[in-house]
Structure 1
Amino acid sequence: MYAERKVPGGLEGDVQQDELKTAGIVESLRSLDTQGSSASQLDAIEPALSPADLPARCRKAFLRHMIGQLPDTVQNRIRALRQNQLQQVRIAEQFFREVYELERRFYGQSCALFDARRDILDGVLEPPLQTEISWPDDALPLDLESNEELRQLVGQLPPVPTDTLGIPRFWLTVFRNVPQLSELVQDHDEPLLECLQDVRLGYEQDSYTVTFQFRPNTFLHDSSLLLTKRYFLQHSADQDYPFQFEGPEIVRCEGCHIHWRDGSNLTLRTVQSRRRGRARSVPKVMPRESFFRFFAPPQALDLSLADEKTKLILGNDFEVGFLLRTQIVPKAVLFYTGDLVDNVNEAPTDNGSVSSENIESEQLP
């Protein structure tokens, strides 16, 4: 059923005339189609090329050339509009800074809830029986017959005794459920990550700190039970690329020193190396992948001068830092239960994260 077409008074005759013309054109096209010529003619017409079909660098060069061909008076109007846009950037800077301050303030109001979460995880607080469920329980079927990976994962689930206190392996399970974090966690990291008690945020004016609290263990010295990672923010637009501003960006991060117990450094491994002329092999300490390298990021004071490997490492690190602040810390239980499992399967595109592609694109002239 089609909606009634409303026509302003006095224009009915003109509209009828136009409709008759349109009907005639349509009928003519139909007659061409019956002769077998319309389809072939339409297929022969290729769609017009548009600037959007060009790669970014070529598109930018074309548009600059296009503007250069315009009369001086038109170019002056365009410059005025760019200046107008720059004023909008200044307003956006103020907006995003106030949004960050709101986030900082409201996080403080949630700290009592995070204290309760920590106590429940540790078994210090036993919550009352939850008889009322105020959210839908969308249980999904588990297809173990045709999915070998699922069968392996189910077989790896550790048994949990009925007298267990708290929720064991909570943070390790959360990290393993999130692709960006799981790829950092190695098998040899898991025993220490099982000792992770809490993950919190600390807000400063132009930075925030992610704090990892561990219970006493055989890996970390007691002086290193609190590990931190600090992310520095740039709230203003880049002077060289002001129109790319979409909110505060992470521009630098700073880890902390880890005081390992003797022989327990998870970021190192000992291999036996046999040298020429020696009958016996000699132990050699080598670096290895570990989640705890997260606390020793490469230092690059100017990302534009960093090599590609450093850009890639820092880009991934910034994404993880943004994810921890905006998703993992405030909503950890939802990643444990799978309620938000779909939210982080795609690479983050929020303005608080910086990927290697973002860094590279910002260097385009």
Structure 2
Amino acid sequence: MSFTITIRAGPARLASRVPQLSTAASLRAFHQSASKNTFFTSKAAPLVFRSNVKSSNNILSRLQGASRGYQSQYDRVYDPTARRGELLRKLLIGGAIFGGTLVAVNAVFNRETREDGGMPPFERSYLNRTFMHTGLGVGIIGLTAYQMIQSGFVYRIMVTNPWIVGIGGIALSIGSMVATRAIEPDNYIPKYACWGLFNATQAALVAPLMTIAPPALLARAGLYTLAMMGSISFVGATAKQDKYLYIGGPLLAGAAIVAVSGFAPLVLPATAVRTLAFTENLWLYGGLAVFGGFTLYDVQKVLYHARLAQRGAIKEDPVNESISLELDFLNIFVRMVQILMMQQRRNR
């Protein structure tokens, strides 16, 4: 009966056999192999060490691959050429949304345009002032929401009771809107003060969503919303007089259905997955359709009010007209942000 006594190689000898490993790595691997094997064995120590070398090389290769991936991602994000290409792509998508919506709505709904060949100057002036107030209101909402985020106001209202804050914010928003509409346009100071309060309440309701979404996604959502509303507004402005005023009732019913679908997660159990998915799609895509229709209706209503003001039946009030368009913009924008965030999660 014979047996073999294997004399284990020391750290220096092992390090000479594996020159790519450092001395510290060699010592760790040697002591680990020594603790796992007995003194009398038929296996040589270098075999155990080669497996450690292989695993170490795999780890190093993974780290090098990760560093290369991070570097390529860094170059892609901060490369000016790549950033210009990404901006151009987003502008093209926004232009495609604008053009596609314009062509589609013109082909389906706007086959008959104005017979007189254009918009009267008074209607055009009134519509331009309404759009100016709408853009100013949206700008106030965006800047106010940004300041709320930077000052920590959003965090403070979110750590309190969300239900009280939400219900109080909605009540204040409705109250300021009603007050703005009730004040005569001749009383500039109280009317614009209530209008500014209305925009501030809308900013408080939108600010929590802006803290979740990244700035690039918010910019894309804003661009798509402008493209969609711009194309629909153009269709409404060039259509025949009072052509789409009849859709106010159906749109109101659709808005009620969309609102009910938004409260579905609070009522339905979490096990009703298909029903919740259906209500979510109804809230997002149905809401886009409904508030796109409201944009068309509100533009035609502005032109109708312009004709009434020209005859002296009502007073000119572009502030009141802009409130409806602001609400259309916010509802479309919020849904655009949610849809883009869902697509971003799927692509990860």
Taking structure 1 as the reference length, the TM-score comes to 0.24
**Higher RCO (Cα < 8 Å, 6 or more apart):** 2
* Structure with max Cα Rg: 2
Structure 1 or 2: more helix by fraction: 2
Taking structure 2 as the reference length, the TM-score comes to 0.25
